[in-house]
């Protein structure tokens, strides 16, 4: 069975100032998502599932899904603030989505095969889809608890326009993930890559080659049940309900499963270099990079 590509497109785009998932950056108005899907199709993925906000469904269908008709099957699922387990209600005043792992949980009803998860506004590069596609396609039927992550070097994933959020990873000698910690403020300072510690004051240096999660994960469907169980624990913690910006991140879930010895997660090496639009100031450089890839023959002038 071909793996599925699950695309996280429900983000608010708060730092970029709009629905950056629909921003045309290619020579004919292609989005970063278009290049991701082109690469995924060529890497052997057999279905697309998008998680979006219900309030831009029609715009999404008109501008995005219509392009892929006849190329690959597509499904939509929706992330909402009130999509919570029984017994829990959304705190008054909360407007921020519950995070990437909550968005992922919305796919449980339509995904029954190994699947990869990506952000829609990140350009991951062709090789990353190929290495993840090979991993998922090679899993024996019925596999459980055997996950993967595409690891990028943190020095290749920064923005010149401000801080970025990354999952800082540690691995063992077999390239198995041993921990992943979400750092929400990372930038280059005084020639070094540094992240802001949990105390909110201390900046800690890390090598340029440190592997980071760019939210390109590979899972089997058993992951959904673990997520549902752990999300209940997350919501049961008063500080997560009181903090109207608390988020249930994928790295938080993976880190727990690794530390519990429930699952393994292999960090897949890739020759791809990540880029993306975190801030409006990043846009011209991304447009130029895509243009250069097209001119070099890496991608056709028109994708679909």
CA Rg, the chain, in Å? Answer: 19
Res. 17: pLDDT tops 70: no
pLDDT class for 20, splitting at 50, 70, 90?
low
- pLDDT tens-digit profile of 195-239? 999 888 899 999 998 999 888 999 999 999 999 999 999 999 999
Q: What is the dihedral of CA 251, 253, 255, 257, to 10 degrees?
A: -150
Average pLDDT of the residues of the chain: 91
Q: What is the reported pLDDT for 21?
A: 58
Question: Token digits for 8?
Answer: 């996280």
Distance of CA 142 to the CA centre of its chain: 24
What predicted TM-score, i.e. pTM, was given to this entire model?
A: 0.88
- pLDDT tens-digit profile of 88-135? 999 999 988 899 999 999 999 999 999 999 998 899 999 999 999 999
Domain range summary for the chain, segments of one domain joined by +: 4-295
User: How far is 137 from 218, CA to CA, in rounded Å?
Assistant: 11
Q: What is the reported pLDDT for 11?
A: 66
- pLDDT tens-digit profile of 242-300? 999 999 999 889 989 999 999 999 999 888 888 888 788 888 999 999 999 999 999 99
CATH of 4-295, picked from 3.90.550.10, 3.40.50.300, 3.40.605.10, 3.30.428.10, is: 3.90.550.10
Q: Give me the count of residues in the chain.
A: 304
Burial class (CB in 10 A: 0-12, 13-18, 19+), 251: buried
Res. 16: pLDDT tops 50: no
């Amino acid at each position: 069975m071909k793996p599925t590509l699950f695309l996280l497109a429900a983000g608010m785009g708060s730092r970029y100032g709009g629905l950056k998932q629909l921003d045309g950056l290619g020579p004919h108005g292609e989005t970063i998502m278009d290049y991701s899907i082109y690469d995924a199709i060529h890497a052997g993925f057999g279905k697309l599932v998008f998680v979006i906000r219900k309030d831009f469904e029609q715009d999404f269908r008109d501008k995005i899904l219509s392009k892929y008709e006849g190329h690959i099957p597509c499904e939509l699922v929706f992330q909402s603030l009130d999509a919570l387990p029984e017994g829990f209600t959304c705190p008054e005043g909360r407007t921020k989505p519950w995070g990437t792992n909550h968005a992922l949980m919305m796919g449980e009803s339509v995904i029954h095969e190994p699947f990869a998860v990506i952000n829609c506004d990140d350009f991951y590069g062709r090789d990353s889809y190929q290495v993840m596609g090979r991993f998922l396609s090679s899993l024996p039927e019925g596999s459980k608890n055997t996950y993967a992550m595409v690891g990028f070097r943190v020095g290749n994933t920064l923005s010149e326009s401000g801080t970025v959020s990354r999952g800082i990873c540690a691995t063992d000698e077999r390239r198995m993930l041993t921990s992943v910690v979400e750092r929400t403020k990372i930038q280059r300072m005084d020639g070094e890559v540094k992240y802001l510690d949990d105390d909110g004051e201390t900046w800690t240096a890390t090598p340029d080659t440190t592997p980071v999660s760019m939210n390109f994960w590979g899972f089997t469907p058993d992951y959904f049940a673990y997520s549902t169980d752990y999300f209940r624990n997350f919501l049961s913690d008063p500080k997560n309900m009181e903090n109207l910006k608390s988020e249930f991140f994928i790295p938080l879930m993976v880190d727990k499963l690794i530390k519990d010895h429930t699952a393994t997660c292999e960090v897949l090496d890739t020759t791809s270099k990540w880029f993306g639009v975190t801030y409006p100031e990043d846009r011209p450089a991304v447009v130029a990079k895509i243009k250069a890839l097209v001119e070099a023959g890496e991608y056709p002038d028109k994708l679909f």
